[in-house]
Structure 1
Amino acid sequence: MEAEMNAIVDEGVTIRDVIIDHPVYGSLTGQLMVKSRRDVRAFLERVEANQAAPLSHLTGGLHIHTLEADSEEAIDAAVSELERLGVLVSELD
């Protein structure tokens, strides 16, 4: 999770939220507003301090982020980095 989030924010992209498609409850969204490595560390510290499972734990890790940036190039760079890390799923069967 840390590598994924850092890959996004390192390109100047804000992670607005995380969304999962739960089989019972439907679409669930958690607000994040993570825009720096400092925010990533703070988020991970809150997860650990509360012994909280990430929302994506409910779907075997599958999740969606809403991303925001000043340019399409920043989004493209973040997506490329996620692909390089092997964490990007572009299509589900």
Structure 2
Amino acid sequence: MIDGEKRKADILAALQQAEKPISATSFAKKFGVSRQIVVGDVALLRASGERIIATARGYLLERESEKLISKLAVQHTPEQTAEELHTIIEHGGEVIDVVVEHPLYGELVGGLHLVTAQDVDTFVKEAEHLNVTLLSELTAGIHLHTIAYESLADLTKIKQALSEKGILYEEKHHS
């Protein structure tokens, strides 16, 4: 069995090469240790300054991106989650995270890192499988998404599509 320092170096090296997230379970099998040991190794790597992101599908190394970044305010029911996320992806966006305002903790951020329609389907299935409460359910469906996109035209298309579906959170104009 390899020691902790070597294992952490191997985890980091694997993440530097990875195109897709790598789960703690797959690292655990590779190194012959428990999943919890891997979670601890990653926590130590993150504490030492490594930019490792934990997603629902596994660990990723944060990479510098040339893409533009914005936050969108949205509101929808839990049943509309897949529709909302697919709409963003279909119109050229990547969903980096979800942010909600919590009365006790302030801003709570959940990393999503959804790039493809398959990523969205996997996320939605996992949420159903785990039977968990979505962060947006803490705030009557109102939340923010940090999204990445190539051009302002993409951002316009994303906002327009979400608005048409009644998902974009907009000022309600009353006359």
- Normalization by structure 1: what TM-score? 0.93
Q: 2:143 aligns to what? A: 63
Q: 1:38 aligns to what? A: 118
Distance 1:35 1:85 in 2: 21
Distance 1:90 1:26 in 2: 22
Number of residues paired by the alignment? Answer: 92
- Displacement of 1:90: 2.6
Structure 2 unaligned regions, length at least 5: 1-80
Over residues 19-67 of structure 1, what are the superposed CA-to-partner deviations in whole Å (9 max), with x where a residue is unaligned? 0011111000000011121111000011011111111111111100001
Q: 2:157 aligns to what? A: 77
Match of 2:142, SS?
coil
Q: 2:87 aligns to what? A: 7
Q: Retained in 2: the 8 A contact 1:20–1:28?
A: yes
Q: Which runs of 4+ in 1 moved over 2 A?
A: none
Over residues 62-89 of structure 1, what are the superposed CA-to-partner deviations in whole Å (9 max), with x where a residue is unaligned? 1000010111111110110000000111
Q: Retained in 2: the 8 A contact 1:18–1:30?
A: yes
RMSD, matched Cα: 1.2
Aligned residue type for 1:30: G
Structure 1 unaligned regions, length at least 5: none
Q: 2:56 aligns to what? A: none
Distance 1:90 1:29 in 2: 21
